[in-house]
Amino acid sequence: MKKSSPKATNDKVKSRPTSKSVAKAKSPPAAKDTSTDSGKVKLLTGGNPQIAKADGDAPVQAFIAAMPGWKSDVGRWIDDVIVKTCPNIRKAVKWNSPFYGIEGQGWFAGFHCCTKYIKFAFFRGALLHPVPPGESKQEEVRYFHFYQDTPLDEAQFAAWVTQAAALPGWIP
């Protein structure tokens, strides 16, 4: 049986695009690597270190050591203030972010590196006095953003940590 050819019409015939006619999607830029004592750590978007989920101080310290530039110093300051304020602190890295909590009460805070700042989250921050300034889509969560030139107010930050640690925390 002979195949019939399509009728000539004014309609455009749809054809499959060729590899030359399809624009190739651009690959995302390669993540930067930074050296730490534990080897190479991949930096994700905004310079957030990719650290495996784990409980304890060691993964948090690895995260802080891998934070790029000035962020590592501020991360160390944050960790030091939290430890001084709450000596019985529980630490972990989850979802590529350090978390801080009290055993049996859940997590009260965590932070994440963004391109130009560190985003510190108080999971029940709406209950703190004064309320941290950064709002969230989640009603109780409040943020404090540390920029390179943010003055480090230890008394205020320690007061927020003390209040947050006394509240029931977030349990994933």
Q: Looking at residue 42, what is its pLDDT?
A: 84
Here the CATH number for the domain that contains residue 139 is 3.90.1150.200
- Model-wide pTM > 0.85: no
107 belongs to a structural domain: yes
6 belongs to a structural domain: no
**Is a pLDDT exceeding 50 seen at residue 13?**
no
Per-residue pLDDT, averaged over 87-105, amounts to: 95
154 belongs to a structural domain: yes
28 belongs to a structural domain: no
Q: Which two tokens stand for residue 24?
A: 């190739």
Give the DSSP per-residue string, 32-82: PEEEETTEEEEB-GGG-B----EESHHHHHHHHHHS-THHHHHHHHHHHHH
139 belongs to a structural domain: yes
Question: Alpha helices, DSSP H only, in 86-172?
Answer: 154-166
Q: Looking at residue 41, what is its pLDDT?
A: 82
Of residues 41 and 151, the one with the higher pLDDT is 151
The residue segments making up the domain with residue 96 are: 33-166
Nearest to 111 by CA among 40, 171, 60, 36: 60
157 belongs to a structural domain: yes
Average pLDDT value over all residues in the chain? 83
Per the structure, the count of domains in the chain is 1
24 belongs to a structural domain: no
Q: Looking at residue 39, what is its pLDDT?
A: 58
